[in-house]
Amino acid sequence: MTPRFESLERLRDRVRALSTRDRRALLLGLLILGPALGWIGIVRPWQSALASLAETAGAEESLLQRERALLREAPTLPGRLSEARATLARKEARLVQSVNPALAEAEVVGLVEELARANRALFLEARSVALGVGEEPPPGLIPIRLNVRVESDFEGILDFLHAIESDPLLIRVVGLSMQAGESGVMNFMAVIEAYASREEVT
């Protein structure tokens, strides 16, 4: 006889040796503890496994829905990518592309001189201007601030300002002043500011 069967036989003999009252107490205890032991050993692990299975199924379903949505959008992705690249190119065109501060400043001066010439304004000078005390540059950008002086008639000055504002390069007029000269010539001074990406300029 195996040890397991011997243990069962000994247990059976002990139960038979109990009095009727003790056997009833033992049976009552089993009736009380049996459901609790069944809950702990069977029902609760089964519920936990079921909840885990439901959670996994929900995650898989969510992933499947995202993959289906991506497949539905797949035909539009090349067009959206091209549009995003075009938008990025337009934004980059708004910034000075030179790789160091001196070249960036020279690029802005050259553009201002060209805009003045195209709008009947005589370009006189452009000087670098530092930021004022307490002024902070925009995040990720390096400001290129210049004091620009040109001469023209009133209409030429307006055309020059309009050309600056409508140029693809982002140029902000920080301050300006005008002085009337002889024969309707206006002496125009403006503080302008262009921007370069901090990642590009070294």
CA distances from 127 to 65, 166, 183 (A): 60, 22, 27
Question: What whole-number distance in Å separates Cα of residue 112 and Cα of residue 128?
Answer: 13
- The pLDDT value given to residue 123: 92
Give yes or no for a contact between 192 and 89, defined as CB atoms under 8 angstroms apart: no
- The pLDDT value given to residue 180: 79
Token match 């829905």: residue?
65
- The pLDDT value given to residue 88: 54
Token match 């001469």: residue?
151
This prediction has a pTM of 0.54
- The pLDDT value given to residue 176: 83
- The pLDDT value given to residue 40: 66
Give yes or no for a contact between 124 and 150, defined as CB atoms under 8 angstroms apart: yes
Rg, C-alpha atoms of the chain: 42
Give the pLDDT of the chain (202 residues) as one tens digit per residue: 555 556 656 656 665 666 676 666 666 666 666 666 666 666 677 777 777 777 887 787 888 788 777 777 767 666 666 665 655 556 666 788 876 888 888 988 999 999 999 998 999 999 988 887 887 877 888 888 999 999 998 888 889 989 988 888 888 888 888 887 777 788 889 898 888 887 655 5
Question: What whole-number distance in Å separates Cα of residue 160 and Cα of residue 166?
Answer: 10
- The pLDDT value given to residue 133: 80
